[in-house]
Homo-oligomer: A and B are copies of this chain.
Amino acid sequence: MMEAIGYAAVDAETPLQPFRFKRRDPGPSDVAIEILFCGVCHTDLHQSRNDWGNALYPMVPGHEIVGRVTAVGGSVTRLKAGDLAGVGCMVDSCRHCAPCRAKLEQYCDEGATWTYNARERATQNLTFGGYSDRIVVDERFVVKVPEALDLKAVAPLLCAGITTYSPLKHWKVGPGQKVGVIGLGGLGHMGLKFARAFGARVVMITTSAGKAADARRLGADEVLISTDADAMAHHRASFDFLLNTIPVGHDLNPYTNLLKLDGTMTLVGALTELAPLVGGNLIGGRRRVAGSAIGGTAETQEMMDFCAANGIVSDVEVIPIQAIAAAFDRLLRNDVRYRFVIDMASLAA
């Protein structure tokens, strides 16, 4: 076993604190990674505070991990020591069900093994995430990161990036389409960048008029303020696709009515109960509401390569690990443009 250090939640109330623990030694198919940066996802905040009632303590959050490979097992072929590597929300899955065979491990019939707040399949040991100095992960769940990108801004691609890339690809967003991105946060700002890169006409849909200039800088052709009834009516039944990144329960009906015939709105953020949907809003216009969860291992690598080819990274604010409590508080107020990333060199401070 290898000594590791990180920051952990020990219960729902206490701020994260330094935590010493052990990582497994790399097996034949494992990759050992020195973590350089880790993004701060809304999920980290919710899980560490047990907002979803499924917390396993001690919990080392973090699933937007980038770093450098320090060692690989004997059967590893895709990565070698010295490579840059990334790890996202999953570290394992059953590997034999239909979704796993399709490299859609996030939909594994047995449930994927999450990067933290989960248990390893073989040992039942807790998994510990990226708010730490090192991690050991099976090759299948490690992404090769190109050297060309700004590494600190790559970290959020492992969750915020793939979560928005995947549904835009799945629903074939491209030139000639009018696409709306609902909510301008960590996910939304990546949605703007990808929708623009895919060639669509992109409309930022937000409650915050103050974010309009930023939305345009990030790729929006137009900004629609969702509290402006006239503007919403003007855009009625005109969108081919809506990427809904709102992370909490809300009313879908004003957005469904923006969709044109056969248009789709995909939810990527709101896991809990939504306000009552009016059936007629889907029946009229043959509209669709769908969901999408992160992306599989193959598609995550595809996204990373697409980002390298197109110079796409996240807009980040780098913080030391010691500032994580303050960062969580600012995240709750949506006060970040657009993702906090922890510089893991601060762990040694």
Contact = CB atoms under 8 A, between A and B. Distances in A.
B261 A107 contact: yes
A271 B291 contact: no
A277 B277 contact: yes
Given A98-B261, A104-B261, A237-B109, A283 B291 contact: yes
A2 interface: no
A279 B291 contact: yes
A323 interface: no
A53 interface: no
Interface residues of A, number: 37
Nearest to A246: B279
A58 interface: no
A289 interface: yes
Interface in A200-239: 237
Interface in A232-268: 237, 249, 261, 264, 267-268
A270 B274 contact: no
A104 to B, nearest CB: 7
A278 B286 contact: no
A43 interface: no
Nearest to A256: B291
Nearest to A287: B291
A333 interface: no
Contact of A289 (B170, B270, B288): B288
A277 B256 CA distance: 14
A188 B294 CA distance: 36
B291 A284 contact: yes
B237 A284 contact: no
Contact of A107 (B278, B286, B292): B286
Nearest to A99: B261
A107 B291 contact: no
Interface string A110-131: 0000000000000000000000
Interface of A: 98-99, 104, 107, 109, 170, 237, 249, 261, 264, 267-293
24 contacts: A98-B261, A99-B261, A104-B261, A109-B237, A267-B279, A270-B279, A271-B279, A271-B280, A271-B283, A272-B279, A273-B276, A273-B277, A273-B278, A274-B279, A275-B276, A282-B290, A283-B291, A284-B291, A285-B291, A286-B292, A287-B290, A288-B288, A288-B289, A288-B291
CB-based closest 7 A-B pairs: A282-B291, A283-B291, A270-B279, A271-B280, A273-B276, A288-B290, A283-B293
